[in-house]
Amino acid sequence: MENRLDHLTTLTTEQRNHASMHIDTASTEEIVRLMAAEDRCVIEAVERVISQIVRAADVIAAALKKGGRLFYIGSGTSGRLGILDAAELLPTYGVGEDQVKAIIAGGPEAVFIPVERAEDDDEAGRAAIAALHLTEDDVVVGITASGRTPYVLGALRVTREAGATAIALTCNAPSEAEKLAHITIAPIVGPEIVTGSTRMKAGTAQKMVLNMLSTTAMIRLGKVYQNFMVDMIPTNQKLRVRAQHIVSETTGVSQEEARRYLIEAEWNIKAAIVMARARCSLSQALQYLSQGEGVVGRALQIAAAETETE
> Residues with catalytic annotation?
88, 119
Confidence of residue 4 (pLDDT cuts 50, 70, 90): low
Please tell me whether residues 111 and 208 are part of one structural domain: yes
Q: With contact defined as beta carbons under 8 Å apart, do 14 and 195 qualify?
A: yes
Confidence of residue 3 (pLDDT cuts 50, 70, 90): very low
Q: With contact defined as beta carbons under 8 Å apart, do 17 and 191 qualify?
A: yes
What pLDDT score was predicted for residue 308?
73
Q: Quick: pLDDT tens for 269-310.
A: 999 999 999 999 999 999 999 999 999 999 999 999 987 776
Please tell me whether residues 13 and 52 are part of one structural domain: yes
What pLDDT score was predicted for residue 108?
93
Query: Domain end: 220, 252, 287, which one?
Result: 220
Q: With contact defined as beta carbons under 8 Å apart, do 279 and 290 qualify?
A: no
Please tell me whether residues 266 and 149 are part of one structural domain: no
Q: Quick: pLDDT tens for 235-262.
A: 999 999 999 999 999 999 999 999 999 9
Please tell me whether residues 131 and 236 are part of one structural domain: no
Q: Quick: pLDDT tens for 23-56.
A: 999 999 999 999 999 999 999 999 999 999 999 9
Q: With contact defined as beta carbons under 8 Å apart, do 274 and 285 qualify?
A: yes
Query: Domain end: 190, 220, 250, which one?
Result: 220
Query: Beta strand 228-229 with 224-225: parallel, antiparallel or unpaired?
Result: antiparallel
- pLDDT of 105 higher than 80: yes
Q: Quick: pLDDT tens for 107-126.
A: 999 999 988 789 999 999 99
Give the three-class secondary structure for 246.
helix
The per-residue DSSP string of 21-79 comes to TTGGGS-HHHHHHHHHHHHHHHHHHHHTTHHHHHHHHHHHHHHHHTT--EEEEESHHHH
Instruction: Return the CATH number at 290.
Output: 1.10.8.1080
Please tell me whether residues 129 and 100 are part of one structural domain: yes
What pLDDT score was predicted for residue 2?
43
Q: Quick: pLDDT tens for 164-191.
A: 999 999 999 999 999 999 999 999 999 9
Please tell me whether residues 61 and 166 are part of one structural domain: yes
What pLDDT score was predicted for residue 309?
72
Please tell me whether residues 202 and 258 are part of one structural domain: no
Query: Domain end: 220, 254, 284, which one?
Result: 220
Please tell me whether residues 180 and 276 are part of one structural domain: no
What pLDDT score was predicted for residue 119?
92
Overall domain count for the chain: 2
Please tell me whether residues 110 and 25 are part of one structural domain: yes
Please tell me whether residues 57 and 188 are part of one structural domain: yes
Please tell me whether residues 168 and 190 are part of one structural domain: yes
**Segment 108-112 long-range contacts (CB within 8 Å, at least 24 positions apart):** 110/75, 110/76, 110/79, 111/79, 111/80, 111/83
Instruction: Return the CATH number at 45.
Output: 3.40.50.10490
Give the three-class secondary structure for 242.
helix
- pLDDT of 6 higher than 60: no
Confidence of residue 1 (pLDDT cuts 50, 70, 90): very low
Q: Quick: pLDDT tens for 76-96.
A: 999 999 999 999 999 999 999
The parent domain of residue 78 ranges over: 2-220
Please tell me whether residues 143 and 240 are part of one structural domain: no
Measured from the Cβ of residue 14, the count of other Cβ atoms closer than 10 Å reads 17
- pLDDT of 5 higher than 60: no
- pLDDT of 198 higher than 60: yes
